[in-house]
Structure 1
Amino acid sequence: MDADIDGVLAGAVADGAAPGVVAAAWSDRGAYLGAAGEAVAGAPMATDSVVRIFSMSKAVTASAVMQLVEQGRVTLDEPAGELVPYLAEVQVIDGFDGDGVARLRPPTRPVTLRNLLTHTSGFGYDFADAVLAQHLPTIEPAPGNSQGSYEHPLTADPGTRWSYGIGVDWAGRVVETVSGQDLGAYFQEHVLGPLGMVDTSFQPSAAVHARLAALTLSMPDGLIALPNEALTDGTPYEMASGGGGLYSTVSDYLRFTRMILEGGALDGARVLAEATVDEMGRDHLGELSATGWSSTNPTFTADVELLPGQRAAWGLSFLINTEATAEGRSPGSLAWAGAANSYYWIDRTRRVTGVFATQVLPFHDPKVLAANAAFERAVYAALG
């Protein structure tokens, strides 16, 4: 059983999808943990190799938000600007003047936490939003790790379209404001610590950093290794990236996905109420759909079409397939990914979950997508 999945990982490396691959899966029938290839030049990818999980951070942040919702300290539909002032001041780009300067106006409705968690706030990413990509070079950049680096205008009115962006980063700011803790400390006390996710953090220790896999750029003529630097220089965050700043291992992240699979608890540690997990896992888009994006930065991401051939729904941080997938996911399964081609899914119907990670850019690389799909199929064949 494990040999079949091992073969998928080894095949991904042999085919040039990635220098190294690491993956984990779990179901009621068994578990899998394996790795293939190299983490850095001359050093093997190991099952405890540390990876930048980028947007897989979003589900952790959403869980923290929903803990505060359970406690009655926030609601999903109150104006988020009542908690974080910038969200009350944010403007919408309404075209550009002849000299390329954005025309700004107030939004037609306030931004809510539900908007932030479902990518319907109007916030974007410049790599996925041509309007934002046009605007950001015209303004003075703010220092990294600062709140100012996230103070972008909206490119649509809240609630009017799905647009992938920095909304979950702002949801993390809400957690900090309401809890009185920085996001890393809150995660450690209320999510990571209870789940035993010992290798997951915003700023990894020297010992954890020593296991960090290198980023690689996939180019038409092959893979190019990038300097193996952390996402942070070690200086304190003014605003941690709840949308994309975590490091983790596939074993750690599998503990998180298993918690969701099990309805909010794992090994006696309850992180969320089962009703909360149900709420996070239902479609919150109404008549909208999660369409994907056209890339404005092909070095960072390819064009993305989510779930081709079916409507893509979105929960409170999760992509939701509305029909069964060719790999085996049941309708209503939860999933998402990280920019360096890491992926996870949670199938609460068949009770299967898996995590697959490379450190390859750009996101949505065709070879890695094929390898991830092969991994899913092999997991369902062995464990589903």
Structure 2
Amino acid sequence: MKLARRFFCSLLLAFVVGSAGAADLGTARPEAVGMSSQRLKLLTTEMKSLAERGELSGVVTMVARKGKVVHLEAAGKRELENGTPMQKDSIFRIYSMTKPITGVAMMILFEQGKWQLNDPVSKYIPEFADLKVAKVDPANGAVTTVPSNHPMTMRELMSHSGGLTYGFFGGTAVDKQYVENKVFDQGQPMQTFIERLGKTPLLFQPGERWHYSVSVDVQGYLVEKLSGQSFPEFLQEHVFGPLKMVDTAFYVPAAKMNRFVEFYYRGKDGKSVKHPGVADYSKPPVFPSGGGGLVSTASDYMRFCQMLLNGGALDGQRILSPLTVKLMRTNMLPESARTMGPGTGFGLDFAVVEDPAAAGGFAGEGTFYWGGFAGTWFWIDPVYELIVIGMIQQRGDDMPDLRALSRALTYQSIVEE
């Protein structure tokens, strides 16, 4: 009888959580970690409803609390044209969710004494030794330059406050120069990117404000310079290998292409079409982008997040010191540079919730998070020992606010603090 009961419980747990990938972390019923199964089921229900109504092509959501996975569900389609169902182990372009991984790589080198937060970036990148700052004439739009009031620091580079921009996300005169000079041409090697960037003026004085930028691609280049390894090799040896992130890389091998999710754009008419201009992920890239080049699965990214929530270690593999993780999720922006949302600061490659009520409620103080261009999102809450990951591949008009929705539906399921 006891054997039969154990067998039934094993089957039930597998049904609740879902996959072998999640089981690697350890699984539990929500009630075992202070959550309500009935309430958490609303997350599954709502995501499936969005997919059925055509508002989402497909989605995978994953939740862990107190080191145990309590939710892993897939809804909708991996590919609309053939009606291929989304799977729990589907592979996604995580775009800017690459940034925290690059940040961890940088902090591994920080722990080795290879660089310091207050060092000038030009100490490691000579091409940045004489960066100028753009000055735009409001009358005619003419761009001149003035000297920077201090060299961009590594702290400013890692908190998007160094004066860099992106090019294709903005319409400033400097953004136009990025585009015209092909600064962020991912068909060229990283060295070419650095050389062109060094010849382009900064958008503003270093430390003046927070502004989303190519800073983390510069960090990917720095990982190579400081380690003597290629960026992909460093990540595999120091992050992906130790954490058993078996599906995270800069490309998708042929054997895994049948798990790779199509990227869609949803128009004003409510119809989804394949997103234009998507890079080829079938082979290793010339430019392994530290700011947005990786693909991954929900389960792989959960292992990365759990390592951070654990203070830098997972399954006996220590990646970082707890002190380093704490530093990463500490706001680095001076009061004068706070241009993010209410209650939110920015650490080292993460946004950080400093005032939960001002930031929108629910999340514990010190929650750190980010997202990706194709709609992926995650957050790590050290107060409630909670990790939530969402994976989609869709942009467009009238997209549902999935981060806010999943935040409400996850936190309302916590019944014991």
Greater fraction helix: 2
Matched residue SS, 2:205? coil
Quote the Cα distance in structure 2 between the aligned partners of 1:161 and 1:50. Answer: 35
TM-score by length of 2: 0.81
TM-score, with length taken from structure 1 = 0.87
What CA distance in whole angstroms lies between the structure 2 residues aligned with 1:327 and 1:7? Answer: 23
Q: How does 1:274-293 map to 2 (within 5 A)?
A: 274-288=322-336, 290-291=338-339
Which is further off, 164-173 or 373-382?
373-382
Instruction: Write the distance in 1 (CA, Å) between the matches of 2:213 and 2:182.
Output: 20
Q: Which residue of 1 aligns with 2:111?
A: 70
Is residue 31 of structure 1 aligned with residue 74 of structure 2? no
Matches within 5 A, 1:335-346: 335-346=369-380
Q: d(CA) in 2 for partners of 1:220 and 1:114?
A: 41
Q: How many matched pairs?
A: 365
Could you tell me which residue of structure 2 aligns to residue 299 of structure 1? none
Aligned 1:248-267 pairs, distance under 5 A: 248-267=296-315
Q: CA deviation at 1:136?
A: 3.3
Q: 1:290 to 1:145 in 2, by over 3 A?
A: farther
CA distance in 1, matches of 2:122, 2:47: 46
Among all aligned residue pairs of Structure 1 and Structure 2, give the percentage whose two residues are the same amino acid: 32
1:290–1:318: structure 2 CA closer, same or farther, 3 Å change rule? Answer: farther
Change (3 A) 1:140 1:52: closer
Q: Measure how far apart 1:79 and its partner are.
A: 1.3
One-letter amino acid matched to 2:323: A
Q: Corresponding residue for 1:125?
A: 166
The aligned counterpart of 1:355 is 389
* Counterpart for residue 46 of structure 2: 8
Give the structure 1 partner of residue 410 of structure 2.
379
Unaligned runs of 5+ in 1: 293-305
How far residue 234 of structure 1 moved from its aligned partner, in angstroms, is 5.4
The residue that corresponds to 2:181 in the other structure is: 139
Q: 1:288 to 1:342 in 2, by over 3 A?
A: farther
Which consecutive residues of structure 2, in runs of 5 or more, have no partner in the other structure? Answer: 1-36
Please show how residues 198-347 of structure 1 align to structure 2 within 5 Å: 198-226=246-274, 231-232=279-280, 237-288=285-336, 290-291=338-339, 306=341, 310-324=342-356, 326=360, 328-347=362-381
Larger Rg: 2
Please show how residues 38-53 of structure 1 align to structure 2 within 5 Å. Answer: 38-41=77-80, 42-53=83-94
Question: Over aligned residues, Cα RMSD in angstroms?
Answer: 2.5
Q: Which amino acid aligns with 2:113?
A: G
SS at match of 1:48: coil
Cα distance, 1:107 vs structure 2: 2.1
Per-residue deviation, 1:334: 0.4
Aligned match for 2:205, one of 152, 157, 161: 157
Q: Distance in 2 between matches of 1:143 and 1:274?
A: 34
SS in structure 1 of the partner of residue 70 of structure 2: strand
Match of 2:219 in 1: 171
Greater shift, 324-333 or 264-273, is seen at 324-333
- Give deviations 1:252-303, integer Å, cap 9, x for gaps: 11111111111111111111100000101111112145535xxxxxxxxxxx
